[in-house]
Structures are given as C-alpha cells and as structure tokens.
A and B are shown apart, each in its own frame.
Chain A
Amino acid sequence: MSRVSAGSGAGSRRLAARLFGIPLRWLGLSAGAATLAVSGFFGGLEGPDEPAIPVVQPGTVDRGSPWNVTVSRVRLVNDLGTLRLTVPGDRWLAVVATVEVTADESRNDLDDVLRLTGVLGLMSQEPAHVMLMRDATELGRLNPGMPEEIAFVWEQSAGAAPPGTVTVQIYGKTYRMDNLANRMEWLDPAVRAEVVAPVQDRRAG
C-alpha cells in the first residue's frame, strides 16, 4: 500500500513538473483557443445586433447632440430665388427643419445634420445648400441655444421620378476624446432617427 501511495504522489509531482515546464506562450495560446471555442459555442463570435433606428413623426423634435432636430416638411420646387441649378431642368428637393445647437459652441457643420435615403437622382449626398428660412440667406453657422428654421436643399435630376415620400435621416455626433489629436472633438456621425415625410409638390406649372 505504501508503494502505491508513494508512486501516486510521485506521478502527480511529475505531472505538475510537466505543467510548469510548458512554455508560457503555449499556455497562453491554449487558453486563448479554449476561450474562443467556448465563446463561439455560446454565440460570442456572432455580430452584435444592430439597434433599430427610431422613427419619429414629422413635426416631432428629435433631441440629441450636438443638435435637436424637428423635421417639419418636404417640398419639391423649381425655383429658389437666387439659387441656380447645376443642370437646367432639374428640380430642388427641400427639407425644412428646425435645428437647435445643444453643444456649447457655434457649429458650422450644418450640412451634416440631415441625409436623404432612397431618393433617386440626387446630385450629392450632402445638401447642396443650407438656407436660413428667416431671410433666405445661406447659413454657415448656428449658435447654441438659438433654434432656427432651416431649409436643407438637394438638387434632383430631371430624369429621376419625383418622390412621393422621402425618408429623412437625422444624424448626431459624439463628443469624445480624439485619440490621435488627444483633444475632445465631435466625432462619429451616425444616424440617430428617421422621419418618413410626404413630399409636397410645389413646382410651378
């Protein structure tokens, strides 16, 4: 009995010695592989579920940073005063929205506020013009805490069908540390809400 007991103890010590003798890299790789395998078995390797983009009604304020946005109406027009179409015969698609800067500084990136999706024949992704409805002047800068009604204007090719409804995407940004510049910046523009709005056709003739 004593021999068996002594042999068992020696075996476990040999096993321990072998385990301690395994190179650390092998141990790490093995642990990593095991973790991946277990994680994959429980769905850890699957992509994250994308949260659904909330849909807000026209006329409803969508609050966020660095601006609150209320999309009020969408219109098709032929003429916008002094603005000139790049291709004669095209039309303007104008989204009118109230924007209030919630950041602490004036913002000059107003052409990042809205995008249109599913509209064929747009000449650009970003609006061709951002106009202040108050006096129909081009708006380059909006100050904090001063909501203004703004027209975001796209040019649509005459060859594309005029849309009956459009989906307006409201973008937001995140104020976070820019690791490259090591300073706080408004980064990561992302869709935070969508507005499905009917298009009022106000083209003359």
Chain B
Amino acid sequence: MSEPPRSANPPAPAAPAAPARSGLARFGARLGVGALFVAALAAGGALTALRPNSDVRERPFVTAGGLGERVSTRTFDVTVLDVRGAAQVARFRQAHDTGGVWIVVRLRLTARNDPTTVGYAALRDERGRLYQQSERFTQPLTNSWVLQPGIPVEGEVAFEVPRAAASRLWLRLAENLAEQGMDSMAEVALLPVDPSTVDGWTRSTAPVPLQTPGAVGT
C-alpha cells in the first residue's frame, strides 16, 4: 500500500508503455482465437447445411419396371397385370363411389425367400403426389396377406386419385407401411391414358367388383 520513494531521476518514459503493448498483444491473440472460433463454427454450419438429411440418406432403394414386367425387391416380386378405372367399385357387394376416380390395379405378388407381407401400396402422379391405397374397405392383398415363397398370389388393389392426376401414374409397393426408408421398393410405371379414357371411367355407373386375392399356379 505504501508508495515507493520517488527517485531523483524519473524512470524512462518508455517504461509504462510496455504493459500496454503486451495488453494489445494479448487482445490481438484473443481476437485471433475468437476469429478462428467463428470461422470454425461457420465452416461447420456450412458443412451441416450441405450434408443431405435423413430423407435423402435413408430413401428407399427403388427397383423400376413396367406393366407386365417382373420387378424384384428384397423380399418379394411383383408383376402388374392390368389397370382399369371406375367411378364406383364394389367389395362384398357394397358399392363405393369417389370424388375422383378409382384406379384398380391387378397384380401378382410372390415372396422371394421367406414369408412376407406387402404393407405399403401407393400411386405416384407426375407432380410427385402420393395416394395410398383406399382404407374404405379391406384390401387384404396389400395389408395382411402373408405371401409364401414360390407361391404367386393374384388380386386387385384400389386407389382413389383426382381425375386430373389419373392419366399418368406409377405404382409403388414396399413391405413396411409405416416406414419405407432404407429398404427396397418396387415402382411400376402404369400405361399412360388420355383424359377421354378417364372421363369414360367416371361416366360408367356400374360398380366394378374387386377381385378377391388368391394363390395361382406357377
């Protein structure tokens, strides 16, 4: 607390500047560290933004095919046999109309190596919109039917789509209803139809009965 005795010769004027320069140097060093820290954060943020998200990284492995072709996935094979449209469909003699148009796809499914089910069935349109199979009545083939290896099963699956989307569609099938990522999926291009054909489907008044699935000979 006591001040040192003043000397007759005052200290050189440059002496007090030394701590200021060292303070400046420390400040500069801190500024440099801060700048490096911010740069690292920015680089990390940019890398994170460029990294594909889970929707892309975990997308399904799609096997594509066309009408009449056998398309193989990890657990099942599918062949689309026929496609038709209707204003009404009938299941168990109960008619069901729609605000759009019914698309009825007849297909053959076969398990590959182990018993399996096909739980996900959807139509994709040209805009990328997805229309899952109707739940207004039971559709056992793509819901609960256990496929046995080597025993083909044929049946029909019905979808409701807007009339404007009915001209060009792709069928998508996968094993798991809730999650299709990181697993195989079949995508079958249905034949394009012109709008007049779609209009014809919507004008027909007779309900189209849906085929009950069943095993067929190999």
Contact = CB atoms under 8 A, between A and B. Distances in A.
Contacts, number: 84
B27 interface: yes
A162 interface: no
Interface residues of A, number: 31
Interface string B17-32: 1011011101100100
B96 interface: yes
B25 to A, nearest CB: 9
A46 interface: no
A203 interface: no
B16 A10 contact: yes
Contacts of A174: none
A60 to B, nearest CB: 20
B207 interface: no
Given A20-B24, A182-B54, A10 B13 contact: yes
Interface residues of B, number: 35
Interface in A1-42: 6, 10, 13-14, 16-17, 19-21, 24
A181 B134 CA distance: 29
Interface string A143-158: 1111110000000000
Interface stretch (B60-68, B145-153, B157-165, B186-194): B157-165
A10 B13 CA distance: 8
B162 A14 contact: no
Contacts of A144: 129-131, 162
Contacts of B20: 13-14, 16-17, 20
Nearest to A185: B55
Contacts of B131: 106, 143-144
Interface centre among A19, A20, A104, A139 (most CB of B within 10 A): A20
Interface stretch (A82-90, A130-138, A186-194): A130-138
B54 A145 contact: no
B99 interface: yes
B167 interface: no
Contacts of B162: 143-146
A183 B99 CA distance: 32
B13 to A, nearest CB: 6
A19 to B, nearest CB: 8
A143 B54 contact: no
B100 interface: yes
Contacts of B23: 16-17, 19-21
Interface of B: 13, 16-17, 19-20, 22-24, 26-27, 30, 53-55, 58, 96-100, 122, 127-132, 134-136, 160-162, 164-165
B168 to A, nearest CB: 15
A21 to B, nearest CB: 6
A147 B99 contact: yes
Closest 8 CB pairs of A and B: A20-B23, A183-B54, A106-B132, A17-B20, A17-B19, A145-B162, A13-B20, A182-B54
Contacts of B96: 135
A182 B52 CA distance: 9
Given A135-B136, A145-B162, A146-B162, 7 more contacts: A16-B23, A20-B27, A135-B96, A143-B100, A143-B160, A181-B54, A184-B53
Nearest to A184: B55
A143 B136 contact: no
Contacts of A20: 20, 23-24, 26-27
A177 interface: yes
